[in-house]
Structure 1
Amino acid sequence: MYTADRKLFLLTSILISISILMSYSLTTYTVILFDTGEFHFLIRQAAFGVLSISIMWFLAQLDSDVWLHRLGLTLLIGSMFLMIIMPFLPASLVSEVGGAKRWIKIVGFSLAPVEFFKIGFIYFLAWSFSRKLGYHGGMGIKQEFLRFLPYAVIFVAIMFIIAFVQNDLGQVVVLGLTLLFMLMFAGSSFKFFLVLLFSAFSFFAFFVLTAEHRILRIKSWWSLAQNSILQLLPDAVASHLRVPSSTEPYQIGHSLNAIHNGGIFGVGLGDGTFKLGFLSEVHTDFILAGISEEFGFIGVLTVTVIFLWILQRIFKIANRSEDSVNYLFSLGIGLLISFAFLINAYGISGLAPIKGISVPFLSYGGSAIIAASIGIGMVLMASKKVNMDKKRFND
């Protein structure tokens, strides 16, 4: 038996510590807007951070043969139940934004079940894929589709709950991409992967076209991004895809200005200006823009390197795992973190539409940081059974 991966634990703890620091620096205007104490967000995020680090450490001590399955299915079933009953709960028990009920109020804390569902769903896929799937062995597309059909039905039900009931298409995109890549690594053919990828884009287009606010968001993004993309296409094609330019979206405009203002080295911790009411709640979904302004390109590069290092450790654990469930689960957690980071980074820089996806371990918020830490804790739990060339992880 080997020790858990200390580097993965340390790197994740560093990101959480940065989150605590930035939750103080970037909320200068927010504390005034919401009439809270100067240290309100710092204290709350510090509490979430300490709890998250403690959870990771605690889970790393457990035996994955016993607890990985129990914890994974508990997260799946418990969070699914909460997501289903949320629309029927009274207003006193749920927080509603834009007509969608996404948070359950628990003693001064808002719990977002979807964050914990993602971890449970990743485990369910890993556990089920390891039992039901395997190398495709020359199967035809039809046979592979029949093998995948039960998962497709489950995912469509999940999409309905998250995209329609909770009005959160961004989480569906992250889960859908994770599902597709886990399926390929579980043994499906590349041809079947491409078929599912095309189907996923079709479903995504359907969800966009059935909501006017999503259509407007896509049009607004495309009007800004089209010049850099269409110049790569023939004029005859580009002319049909071009739409009239529109005013730069408020949030994206200030996000880009914050990134530009930071330059190479940033303006300094606490000296950012776009957090002063221009870029609303920058400590949440736009935290990378806030870091970029105050610490510059160097700061964003440092954060990105830490994320890449975390992913390298997770994928290394997956690659060295002899147990197929541990392999697929670790891979899935790595993919989940990767897609969330990329979607957020592309969104704040105007390269993709904003999807409301937080940055794992960095964005302010209790549910997201705790759920992500549970995922890392479960990977640490699995890492103890990994043989790294007859050496411990930390040799």
Structure 2
Amino acid sequence: MAKKVKKKACDFILLLTTLLLVFIGIIMVFSSSWPEGIRMNDGYYFLRKQIISALVGFVGMLFFMNFDYRFIYRLSKLIYLFSIISGLLIFTPLGVVKKGARRWINLGFATFMPSDIIKLGSIIFLAAFLSKRKDTIREFKKTTIPTIMIIGLSCGLIYLQKDLGTTVTLGATLVSIFFVAGMKISHLILMAIGAIVGLVLAIFTGDNEYRIRRIVAFLDPFADKADSGWQAVQSLYALGSGGLFGLGLGKSRQKFFYIPEPYNDFIFAIIGEELGFLGTLTVILLFMIIIWRGIRIALNTEDLFGCLLATGIVSLITVQTLIHIAVVTSTIPTTGIPLPLISYGGTSLVLYMSAIGILLNISRHVKVDGS
């Protein structure tokens, strides 16, 4: 591991930007979930849960901000094992089926999605695994094959939960870690071909008619806007009606049961409708600041594990944000992907804030210009 570096203050810009996004998320979750809350006879239901999750996430962020990330290196195998076990719990009586998919674990006192735990656990483990093999990183048998097996196991567990969007997100994130570690381009091309073949098979084979319908709807959502193209069309209506300045906070029309779960997979559309182009631009700029600070932290980290871990966290946020915005703007076929730090969801918010905490801790051990 790298020599000991005197710790300093964390990256304040990264911390402030994260808290701003979480605050925006709480406000927008409250606004977009109000109609659903009223239908449940409690308009503040989603707001309360999001605030509690944000507080827990803040504690997690503070903890990992002060927990030396180099100890995470030593615990990487245990963390990954825990994440895999949490994913396997889906197939036990603790697994809960919602909307035709088994993606939740019910512990009685709390419900969580193991896919979020698998994402962070996989990033930590792969970063530690590759940092131990920096001298053989370009060897197919010693490093590339084991890496493909790790990616396959992690993504496979999520795919079995019928969550193709998250599978693609995690796969792209883990490959980006391997790429930064120094993999051969020929191996990258081979993995890309394998991923494309796997994606095509996932869409067009088996009992996946709904995925094919999403592809067809993506090509022309207005051709069947009352059925398969409904979500994409309503999302575009929301963004279009927002204009430059938006209809005003709380004044969205599409959240009144036109867009399914507007506080989660389509929250960016509600931001566009209520806060307009300027509101969406502000959110995008805040994410760009997080990505920029994360990249600088990764580039200035002295040890390989810290670099790869920071790369993985930033890549995960980047890929998931891009997919969410692409879905909402009908740039890619519809898939259920929450917007990091903003969308409703306790497990996601706590895990992302904790991941940012790890990134902040890495920043305390490196010199980053302007921080």
1:41, CA displacement in angstroms? Answer: 1.0
| AA aligned opposite 1:31 | G
CA spacing shift, 1:150–1:135, aligned 2, 3 Å = closer
Match of 1:240 in 2: none
- Structure 1's 264 and 336: CA in aligned 2 closer, same or farther, altered over 3 A? same
1:251 and 2:256 equivalent?
Answer: no
- Cα gap change, 1:59 to 1:158, in 2 (>3 Å): closer
Q: Find the aligned partners of 1:384 and 1:264 in 2 and give their Cα distance.
A: 39
Q: Name the counterpart of 1:172.
A: 167
Map of 2:20 onto structure 1? 14
Within 5 A, what are the aligned runs for 1:133-282?
A: 133-134=134-135, 143-144=139-140, 147-164=143-160, 166-210=161-205, 211-224=208-221, 245-247=223-225, 249-282=229-262
Q: Do the aligned residues in 2 keep the contact of 1:95 with 1:105 (CA within 8 Å)?
A: yes
| Counterpart Cα distance in 2 of 1:40 and 1:332 | 33
Distance 1:163 1:325, change over 3 A: same
SS of the residue corresponding to residue 359 of structure 1 reads coil
Q: CA deviation at 1:56?
A: 0.9
- Alignment of 1:321 onto 2:301: yes
Q: Is the aligned partner of 1:343 residue 2:323?
A: yes
Report the CA distance shift for 1:372/1:74 in structure 2 as closer, same or farther (over 3 A): farther
Q: Which residue of 1 aligns with 2:3?
A: none
Q: Deviations over 1:76-105 (max 9, x none)?
A: 22121021132122xxx4321244321112
What amino acid sits opposite 2:183 in the alignment?
Answer: S
Match of 2:48 in 1: 43
Query: Aligned AA for 1:69?
Result: Y
Residues 294-335 of structure 1: CA deviation (Å, up to 9, x unaligned): 000000000000000011111110000001000000011101
Q: TM-score, normalised by structure 2?
A: 0.92
Aligned to 1:387: 367
- Cα–Cα, structure 1 residues 367 and 321, in superposed 2: closer, same or farther, change >3 Å? same
TM-score (norm: length of structure 1): 0.86
Name whichever of 292-301 and 347-356 sits farther off: 347-356
- With over 3 angstroms needed to count, the CA separation of the structure-2 counterparts of 1:72 and 1:284, relative to structure 1, is farther
Cα 1:134/1:315, change in 2 over 3 Å: farther
Find the aligned partners of 2:111 and 2:291 in 1 and give their Cα distance.
29
- State yes or no: 1:120 paired with 2:121: yes
Q: Give CA deviations for 1:254-296 in whole Å, capped at 9, x if unaligned.
A: 1000000100000100111111111122010100000000000
1:295 alignment counterpart? 275
Percent of pairs identical after alignment?
30
Q: Aligned-pair distance for 1:134?
A: 4.7
Distance, in Å, in 1 between the alignment partners of 2:304 and 2:16 is 26
Q: Using the TM superposition, give the Cα deviation of residue 202 of structure 1 relative to its aligned residue in structure 2, in angstroms.
A: 1.1
Residue 70 of structure 1 deviates from its aligned partner by: 5.1
Q: How much does 1:144 deviate?
A: 2.9
Please say if residues 135 and 186 of structure 1, whose CA atoms lie closer than 8 Å, have aligned partners that are also in contact: no
Superposition deviation, residue 345 in structure 1: 0.6
- Distance of aligned partners of 1:145 and 1:347 in 2 relative to their CA distance in 1, 3 Å threshold: farther
**Which structure 2 segments of 5+ residues have no match?**
1-5
Query: Any conservation in 1 of the 2:136–2:142 contact (CA below 8 Å)?
Result: no
